[in-house]
Every structure is written in C-alpha cells, then in structure tokens.
Amino acid sequence: MLTFTSHGGAGTVTGSRHLLTHGDTRVLVDCGLFQGLKNLRELNWRPLPVAPPTIDAVVLTHAHLDHSGYLPRLVRDGFAGKVHLTPATGDVAALILRDSAFLQEREAEFANRKGFSKHHPALPLYASGDAERAIAAFAPAPLHRTVALPGGATLTFRRAGHMLGAATARIDIGGRTVVFSGDLGRYGDTVMHDPEPVPDADAVVIESTYGDRRHAPADPVEALGAVIERTVQRGGTVVIPAFAVGRAQSLIHHLWQLRQAGRLRNVPVYLDSPMAGSATLLLHRYDDEHRLDRRDYEAACAAVTYVRDVGESTALSANRYPKVIISASGMATGGRVLHHIAAFAPDHRNTLLFSGFQAAGTRGRKLLDGAREVRLHGRWVPVAAEVAELPMLSAHADSDELMRWLSGFRRPPRQVFIVHGEPAASEALRERIGRELGWPATVPLQGQTFVL
C-alpha cells in the first residue's frame, strides 16, 4: 500500500514536509522550516511524527528555507539516508543551510546575552555541525535523468523555474507515479526558464501560494522604477527584503534595465548580503539554467555595490542619502534587513518594498497589513515609511500559471493534492481545478494520510 501524508506545508506556505510510504520504504519530499505565525514556528521544536532514523531518503525540490531548512535538525535527530536534489540546488542549499545554522546560533546567543528568551539558556534549533552533516548527505541528480531511490523507487527532476536549481519531482514508487510541483515559477520570467510540463502522473501534489490571485499584468520593471523614483523624490531610501540568490538577481537586472533607459542614474544600489558574491558565482556556474546573458549580467552587477561585512552594513543603515538597499531575508523574519527596517521604517520619506509572498505572521505580512509598529530584536519600532508590494516580481506562479502547468498532463491524474498555500488560496485553486479541468482535488490537513 502506498500512502501520502503532509507533515508540513498543508494549510500554510511554510514547513513543506511530504511523506510517501510504501511497505517499509519512507521517502520525505522537502524538509522545510515553519516560518511566520508563532504556533507554526513552535512546530519546528516538536519531534517529527515519523522517527527520522526510519526515513530512507529525502528528495529536495529546491533550496528555499521553507523547503530545506529543517534538514540539519532531521540529521541531528537520526536521519542517515541521502538527500536527492539537483546539482544547483545542492550548491544553493549548502549556502542557505550554513547561513541558517549561523543565524540560529547567533539568535540563541543574542537572546541569552539580552535575556529576552523564555528559555534559559536559549538553544539553537541546530548548529553548524548539523548543517555540515546534512550537506554531506547530498546526492545530486541532474535534471531529466532517472535515478534510483531506496525500495526500488525512482526519481526524475524537471525544471520548475522559481529559483536556481528548482525542480518538480516525479517519483515512481509502488507501481504509481507521484508528481510534486515543488514551488512553480512564472512563465516568461526575465531570469528563470518556464516550468516544464510533466506528461503523466497518477497523483499530483501542487503548491497554491497564489492559488487565489492573478499577478497584475503591469510591466514589473516600470512598476519598480515608479516606486523608487517617488521615494527618491522625497529624499528617501527604498529597502527591499529579498533573498540573495534569485530575486536579488532579478531586481539587479531590472534596476540595470532602468539605468539603460536613462532612469535612476544617481541612485546608488546596495546588495547587502554575505551570500551576494557567492550567488553571482553560482549563476555563472549554472549558465544554462537561467536566461541571464553573462555579459549583461556582469554589467548589471557592476552597477551595484556589494556589502559583505557587518560593519559596512551598519554604516549603510546610518547613511541618509537616497538609495536602494536589497537585503535578506525576504519575509523580514531574520537577517540583516532587520536593522535596515529598524533604521528606515520610522521616516515617512522611505519605502519598504516587498516583492515576494509574505506568509501569515511574518513581519513582512504585518507591514503589508498596515502595522504601525513592528517588533525587531526585542524592541518596538514605529513605522511611518511607505509600505509597497509588487507581487508581479514574485518568483511564484499565479493561479493562471498553476493551471497552465496542470494543463501539461496528457491524461487526468486520479488524485490531486493542493498544498503550500494559506487555506483560502488552496481552496480557491481546488474549486478552479474542479470547475475548469473536472479533476477531483483535495486540500489535505496536516497529518492526514491518503492511500494512493
């Protein structure tokens, strides 16, 4: 009997952890951190309902923290199998997991020093050694090549767009074909290729981040230029929370296009991330996995100032001249962007610009919902700055694009599971799939098991 259970990423966009069980074989697809709402974040500290030593393999669709960030904890709790991922995802995930372990350790240390944690002492969820052991378990599998998984199962990755290395996963197990969309990117994106269609599946597990939304058809470059120009005209700074690998490169490319068109000539752009340089090297290493022309991209990068060390980053927060700062994390849940928000949010001339999906409970969502103050490092900071959102810059497919990917199946799957969305978004996509394709679809609850 083959079963499917979501232990995370059901009814929420974070903490993706989907389990396939066939006989004694257990394959976990994605192994993400819960982020955002406190009751979700607390789930990171609860033991996984399935004992990590009994999991035979992990398949990682892409490197984002909400899909990969629990791996070091899984390894610390006894998982001893391989982590199957694309080569590019392996390189990006190594950066992300090392950075995540560093942030976990530093936050625990900071909480202990300032005494604002309920726990004494505050402990990190995992440490750098755990991240290194997780990275040592990586088993890269190139796109389109079918590789073996434990228990006679096989795995085939195809392009998902979304971010460098991102893939859909086709898993053949127990006589069935199960396809996981992972996170799907946009069609016609300037950086990433279109998501590839998958011809057939018995069961499909699809994300629904924007299952209830269509991105505005406006030109993203134009929209970005307009936000920056009006901020600069009032003497302000634009702070853009964005992850260093992926959206940051798109933003840099868009900003360069604006400069080529004679706009934003005197507005300095800073990419404040310890990973920024590595991200550029990775784009070069995986030249055929994205649409950026190397010469164009080098020219775009030359127009940006890279901020690597913390001292320079702090100095940037104190600099009051109009500028653009791109810094992680993308949902303002951690990272250097926090001290930029603390520095720039109180002044009405500045703008906080969000380009990606902001999960419920994150600072990003609270700001977009109109919060007039935000808690940062244990203190309340007033928000007078403009807060803007450009979802068309997002790395996620909208509802039309999710339907377009589904239309690639040559025969209707017998089962469709809708995950990785807040309840209204998942439900809207479920209805739309029923109405337009006539396929029965289900929005699983966390922990609910289905026979495939």
Which DSSP string do the residues of 211-259 spell out, in sequence order?
TT-----S-HHHHHHHHHHHHHHTT--EEEE--TTTHHHHHHHHHHHHH
Residue 145 phi/psi, 5-degree rounding, is: -100, 130
Smallest separation, CB 436 to Zn ion (Å): 25
Rounded to whole angstroms, how far apart are CA atoms 189 and 253?
Answer: 12
Side chain identity, residue 12: T
Smallest separation, CB 167 to Zn ion (Å): 11
| CB nearer to Zn ion: pick between 89 and 273 | 89
**Of all helices (H) and strands (E), which one includes residue 344?**
helix 337-344
Smallest separation, CB 62 to Zn ion (Å): 6
| CB nearer to Zn ion: pick between 17 and 26 | 17
Region binding Zn ion by CB under 5 A among candidate stretches 62-70, 121-129, 203-211, 346-354: 62-70
Q: Using an 8 Å Cβ cutoff, are 367 and 383 in contact? A: yes
Smallest separation, CB 236 to Zn ion (Å): 30
Smallest separation, CB 230 to Zn ion (Å): 30
Smallest separation, CB 129 to Zn ion (Å): 26
Tokens, residue 4: 């499917």
Smallest separation, CB 116 to Zn ion (Å): 30
| CB nearer to Zn ion: pick between 66 and 212 | 66
| CB nearer to Zn ion: pick between 267 and 359 | 359
User: Is 97 exposed, middle or buried (CB count within 10 Å of its CB: 0-12, 13-18, 19+)?
Assistant: buried
Region binding Zn ion by CB under 5 A among candidate stretches 63-71, 151-159, 185-193, 362-370: 63-71
What mask, x for binding Zn ion by CB under 5 A, covers residues 293 to 322?
------------------------------
Smallest separation, CB 51 to Zn ion (Å): 27
| CB nearer to Zn ion: pick between 25 and 249 | 249
Region binding Zn ion by CB under 5 A among candidate stretches 56-64, 78-86, 198-206, 350-358: 56-64
Smallest separation, CB 349 to Zn ion (Å): 33
Q: Using an 8 Å Cβ cutoff, are 358 and 425 in contact? A: no
Beta bridge partners of 203: 178, 415
Q: Look at residue 135 and give its three-state secondary structure.
A: helix
Query: Shortest CA distance to 75 belongs to which of 104, 97, 96?
Result: 97
| CB nearer to Zn ion: pick between 89 and 415 | 89
Q: Using an 8 Å Cβ cutoff, are 420 and 207 in contact? A: yes
Smallest separation, CB 16 to Zn ion (Å): 9
Total residues at the site for Zn ion (CB under 5 A)? 2
Region binding Zn ion by CB under 5 A among candidate stretches 6-14, 64-72, 227-235, 341-349: 64-72
Distance of CA 130 to the CA centre of its chain: 21
| CB nearer to Zn ion: pick between 21 and 168 | 168
Q: How far is CA 21 from CA 56, 122, 145, 150, 174, in A?
A: 10, 35, 23, 11, 9
Smallest separation, CB 364 to Zn ion (Å): 15
Side chain identity, residue 209: T
**Phi-psi category of residue 115: left, alpha or beta, with phi > 0 → left and psi -120 to 50 → alpha:** left
| CB nearer to Zn ion: pick between 174 and 246 | 246
Rounded to whole angstroms, how far apart are CA atoms 197 and 407?
Answer: 8
Classify the C-alpha dihedral 333-334-340-343 as positive or negative.
Answer: positive
Q: Exactly one of 7, 22, 64, 247 binds Zn ion (CB under 5 A); which one?
A: 64
Classify the C-alpha dihedral 143-147-150-153 as positive or negative.
Answer: positive
Q: What secondary structure letter does DSSP report for 54?
A: G
| 194 binding Zn ion? (CB under 5 A) | no
| CB nearer to Zn ion: pick between 161 and 236 | 161
| CB nearer to Zn ion: pick between 26 and 64 | 64
Residues 130-189 that bind Zn ion (CB under 5 A): 183
What mask, x for binding Zn ion by CB under 5 A, covers residues 235 to 274?
----------------------------------------
Region binding Zn ion by CB under 5 A among candidate stretches 20-28, 59-67, 254-262, 284-292: 59-67
| CB nearer to Zn ion: pick between 130 and 183 | 183
Binding site for Zn ion (CB under 5 A): 64, 183
